[in-house]
Amino acid sequence: MVLPPVTGRDHRPQVAAALTLTAGYSWYAAGLRSFTTESLISVLVVGVAAIVLAARHPVRIPAPESLDPRGLIWWMIIVFGFFEWEVAGFAAGSHPWHPTLSVLLDPVLEQRPAKAAAFFAWMLAGWGLLRR
């Protein structure tokens, strides 16, 4: 399906400003210590802002005309695999021979640029879900 061309105002400056603010906020949030009140508030601010923006400006992405069940099966396999890995690692006590995914990601997310990139990706993914 081809979307019709966008007419009217050029929204690129607003998109660039929003992405810049999002990147800056990601950098700020990545500098906060995990599991603190400040980090909780930084996540809640994003959630509330996204919900308010989505409610005030309901721009919807059109739904596809049909879905391929094979794609759903592959996504279910991936989600089940991650779920199984996490549950098995948690049940086993997250030993070095079977760590949970969060334990595997801890060394990566200790670095502020990686944590900021993950926060940025999380915000963009959330916005994409809200637009659905």
Per-residue pLDDT tens over the stretch 91-120: 877 667 777 777 788 888 889 999 999 999
Residue with tokens 């879900």: 129
* pLDDT for position 23: 93
* pLDDT for position 71: 83
| Burial label, 85 (beta-carbon count in 10 A; 0-12, 13-18, 19+) | middle
* pLDDT for position 8: 58
CA nearest 102: which of 116, 113, 87?
Answer: 87
Give the H/E segment covering residue 28: helix 12-30
Per-residue pLDDT, averaged over 74-86, amounts to 89
What pTM did the predictor assign? 0.69
The pLDDT tens digits of the residues spanning 2-53 come to 445 555 566 788 888 888 999 999 999 999 988 899 999 999 998 898 888 8
* pLDDT for position 121: 94
Tally the C-alpha atoms within 13 A of residue 23's C-alpha that lie toward its C-beta. 7
Distances (CA, A) of 38 to 33, 117, 125: 8, 19, 22
